[in-house]
């Protein structure tokens, strides 16, 4: 009797699972039959994490432009290589000698590549009190009142390449195109505040740009619009301060803010530090200089440590911060070779995954953030990363918790009602005519799945595609 019951139960369970799987396949077919996606490239990989068995595959080994889901590859490797408790270090000190309150030498800041230094995402870590106030107070406490020398910034931990060569002109000047620096500060960005007239199609006015950095020039070509959203874009090189702002912002606004990348974070850090030193009564007679300091001559007064890498990765993946991802690539290289170089960092990350048994022929990285249109990766490779981090990594929890849930971070479009707590942890990525999702789904039937959906070259609206993909994820969650 028990045997008969077991057979009947197994039959019903298997048929129920197959029915749910068949239902998902029908959903995918209906999705692909829509006119907007018939000519698109679509890849899907769904894997049972417990067994490693494929649940659904379509073009899963084909290569797609990933946009920001590439951050999964970067952040997971960084956690594994550097460790979740890794902290970036910024060192403050001097060279020379101190006598009677006078330093005959230089005040020195040695950059450690901290992407979170002064970041808006880490207010509690750097602004209570302000980190530069602490630096200035420590300089004063060391007995320095006057510096007969320079303020020296040592950013030699990273090479001089600020942005990858395959990023496009349209992205470089915008906040998400901020370049790397061993002395990155305040997210390497500006906030530009506009005033717009009541009538649409009219010129707007820039009323402020903060922070203020010497050498920046702003040309405003932004018009007012009936569109109630930010459609303004900033154009400019990562190596000079000339910026043109084009596009539209909503009409009839007394104050409307957009963000832009700062090509000179080192200059900003120096100016701000000089300001805080002056407030403490410490004055420097010389200039601001950027150079490599002989380490044997450097005397450390203070060191600022970043939040843990685990905390940084959580912001990186939930808020999709490109700067954080690019800094991690260079930091991996710096820790392994002594110099933060993008190409070296990408090779180390790729080799890491190859050594874990992943097929890196399905991964070609030009950056760590996914902003380059030259990046390609397969859905199957992303699923392999997810499976490795779930089943083999000591950093599983740090990685898993870094992924946004419905209604959170970059998943703010998704309804929390459809995905109970922990039912969905997934990273999104988007560019013009590209939208991808990769992460974890826990089904109502108790299965834990990895899911990657990659859509390239679709027509129609992004809003509609987001809705269609949400429906697919809801269908998968009900399996």
Model confidence band, residue 415 (pLDDT cutoffs 50, 70, 90):
confident
pLDDT in tens, 138-196: 999 999 999 999 999 999 999 999 999 999 999 999 999 999 999 999 999 999 999 99
pLDDT at res. 19: 47
Query: Considering the domain boundaries, does residue 450 fall inside one?
Result: yes
Model confidence band, residue 228 (pLDDT cutoffs 50, 70, 90):
very high
pLDDT at res. 21: 65
Please tell me whether residues 453 and 327 are part of one structural domain: yes
Last residue in a domain, options 281, 307, 333? 307
Please tell me whether residues 315 and 303 are part of one structural domain: no
Please tell me whether residues 281 and 320 are part of one structural domain: no
Dihedral over Cα of 111, 114, 115, 119: its sign: negative
Query: Considering the domain boundaries, does residue 8 fall inside one?
Result: no
Give the total number of structural domains in the chain. Answer: 3
Model confidence band, residue 255 (pLDDT cutoffs 50, 70, 90):
very high
Q: 10 Å Cβ neighbour count for 377?
A: 27
Q: Is 444 exposed, middle or buried (0-12, 13-18, 19+ CB in 10 A)?
A: exposed
Please tell me whether residues 210 and 68 are part of one structural domain: no
pLDDT at res. 23: 85
What Å distances lie between residue 26 and 29, 62, 168, 355, CA to CA?
A: 5, 22, 38, 37
Of 22, 313, 283, the C-alpha closest to 136 is 283
Query: Considering the domain boundaries, does residue 10 fall inside one?
Result: no
Please tell me whether residues 371 and 435 are part of one structural domain: yes
Mean pLDDT on 35-59: 96
Higher pLDDT, 420 or 314: 314
Residue 6 has pLDDT above 60, yes or no: no
Residues 6+ away with beta carbon under 8 Å from 397 = none
For residues 350 and 396, what is the distance between their CA atoms, to the nearest angstrom?
A: 19
How would DSSP label each residue in 227-293?
S-S-EEEEE--TTS-EEEEEEEEESS-S-EEEEEE-S-HHHHHHHHHHHHHHHTT-EE-S-EEE-PP
Kindly report the CA angle at 289 between 284 and 290, in degrees rounded to 5? 145
pLDDT at res. 32: 94
Query: Considering the domain boundaries, does residue 245 fall inside one?
Result: yes
Dihedral over Cα of 250, 252, 256, 262: its sign: positive
Residue 47 has pLDDT above 50, yes or no: yes
Residue 57 has pLDDT above 90, yes or no: yes
Please tell me whether residues 177 and 297 are part of one structural domain: no
Please tell me whether residues 335 and 189 are part of one structural domain: no
pLDDT in tens, 68-123: 999 999 999 999 999 999 999 999 999 999 999 999 999 999 999 999 999 999 99
For residues 105 and 151, what is the distance between their CA atoms, to the nearest angstrom?
A: 9
pLDDT at res. 330: 99
Model confidence band, residue 1 (pLDDT cutoffs 50, 70, 90):
low
Query: Considering the domain boundaries, does residue 13 fall inside one?
Result: no
Query: Considering the domain boundaries, does residue 443 fall inside one?
Result: yes
> Quick check: bond before 129 cis, omega within 30?
yes
Please tell me whether residues 68 and 101 are part of one structural domain: no
Query: Considering the domain boundaries, does residue 351 fall inside one?
Result: yes
Q: Is 469 exposed, middle or buried (0-12, 13-18, 19+ CB in 10 A)?
A: buried
Of 27, 32, 21, 29, the C-alpha closest to 455 is 32
Model confidence band, residue 12 (pLDDT cutoffs 50, 70, 90):
very low
pLDDT over 70 for what percent of the chain? 96
Whichever domain contains 443, its CATH number is 3.40.710.10
Mean pLDDT on 242-270: 98
Please tell me whether residues 201 and 152 are part of one structural domain: no
Mean pLDDT on 271-295: 98
- Angle between helix axes 70-82 and 342-355 (nearest 10 degrees) is 80
Model confidence band, residue 9 (pLDDT cutoffs 50, 70, 90):
very low
Query: Considering the domain boundaries, does residue 2 fall inside one?
Result: no
pLDDT at res. 3: 52
For residues 27 and 36, what is the distance between their CA atoms, to the nearest angstrom?
A: 15
Last residue in a domain, options 249, 275, 307? 307
Beta bridge partners of residue 260, listed in sequence order: 174, 190
Q: 10 Å Cβ neighbour count for 437?
A: 26
pTM: 0.94
Q: What are phi and psi of 99, to 5 degrees?
A: -145, 125
Please tell me whether residues 209 and 287 are part of one structural domain: no
Whichever domain contains 124, its CATH number is 3.50.80.20
pLDDT in tens, 358-411: 999 999 999 999 999 999 999 999 999 999 999 999 999 999 999 999 988 888
Last residue in a domain, options 203, 227, 261? 261
Residue 421 has pLDDT above 80, yes or no: no
Please tell me whether residues 233 and 371 are part of one structural domain: no
- Contact between residue 71 and residue 430 where contact means Cβ atoms under 8 Å apart: no
Domain containing 336 equals 22-84+310-477
pLDDT at res. 410: 82
Residue 197 has pLDDT above 90, yes or no: yes
Please state, rounded to an integer, the average pLDDT across all residues of the chain: 95
Residue 22 has pLDDT above 90, yes or no: no
pLDDT at res. 66: 99
Residue 417 has pLDDT above 60, yes or no: yes
Residue 16 has pLDDT above 70, yes or no: no
pLDDT at res. 8: 46
Please tell me whether residues 206 and 352 are part of one structural domain: no
């Amino acid at each position: 009797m028990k045997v008969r019951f077991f057979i009947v139960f197994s039959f019903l369970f298997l048929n129920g699972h197959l029915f749910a799987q068949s239902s998902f396949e029908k959903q995918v077919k209906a999705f692909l039959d829509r006119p907007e996606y018939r000519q698109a490239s679509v890849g899907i990989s769904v894997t049972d994490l417990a067994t490693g068995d494929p649940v659904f595959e379509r073009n899963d080994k084909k290569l797609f432009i990933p946009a920001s889901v590439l951050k999964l590859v970067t952040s997971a490797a960084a956690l594994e290589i550097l460790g979740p408790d890794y902290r970036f270090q910024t060192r403050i000190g001097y060279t020379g000698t101190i006598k009677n309150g006078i330093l005959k030498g230089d005040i020195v800041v040695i950059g450690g590549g901290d992407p979170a230094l002064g970041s808006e995402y880490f207010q509690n870590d750097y602004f209570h009190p302000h980190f530069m106030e602490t630096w200035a107070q420590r300089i004063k406490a060391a007995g320095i009142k006057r510096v007969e020398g320079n303020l020296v910034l040592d950013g030699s931990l990273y090479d001089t390449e600020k942005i990858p060569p395959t990023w496009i002109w349209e992205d470089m000047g915008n906040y998400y195109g901020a370049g790397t620096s061993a002395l990155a500060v305040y997210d390497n960005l500006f906030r530009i505040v506009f005033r717009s007239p009541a009538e649409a199609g009219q010129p707007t006015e820039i009323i402020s740009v903060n922070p203020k950095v010497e050498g920046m020039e702003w040309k405003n070509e932004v018009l007012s619009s009936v569109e109630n959203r930010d459609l303004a874009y900033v154009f400019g090189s990562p190596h000079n301060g000339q910026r043109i702002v084009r596009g539209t912002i909503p009409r009839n606004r007394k104050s409307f803010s957009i963000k832009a990348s700062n090509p000179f974070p080192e200059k900003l850090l120096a100016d701000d530090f000089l300001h805080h030193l002056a407030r403490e009564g410490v004055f420097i007679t010389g200039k601001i200089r950027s150079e490599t300091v002989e380490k044997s001559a450097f005397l450390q007064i203070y060191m600022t440590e970043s939040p843990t890498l685990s905390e940084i990765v959580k912001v990186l993946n939930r808020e999709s911060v490109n700067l954080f991802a690019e800094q991690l690539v260079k930091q991996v290289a710096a820790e392994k070779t002594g110099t933060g170089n993008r190409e070296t960092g990408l090779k180390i990350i790729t080799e890491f995954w190859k050594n874990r048994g992943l097929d890196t022929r399905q991964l070609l990285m030009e950056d760590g953030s996914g902003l380059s249109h030259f990046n390609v990766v397969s859905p199957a490779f992303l699923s392999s990363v997810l499976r490795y981090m779930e089943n083999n990594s000591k950093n599983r929890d740090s990685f898993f918790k870094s992924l946004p849930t419905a209604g959170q971070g970059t998943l703010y479009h998704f309804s929390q009602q459809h995905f109970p707590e922990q039912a969905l942890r997934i990273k999104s990525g988007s560019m013009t005519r590209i939208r991808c999702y990769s992460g974890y789904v826990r089904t109502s039937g108790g299965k834990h799945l990895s899911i990657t959906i990659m859509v390239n070259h679709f027509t129609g609206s992004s809003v509609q595609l987001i809705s269609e993909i949400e429906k697919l994820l809801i269908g998968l969650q009900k399996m």
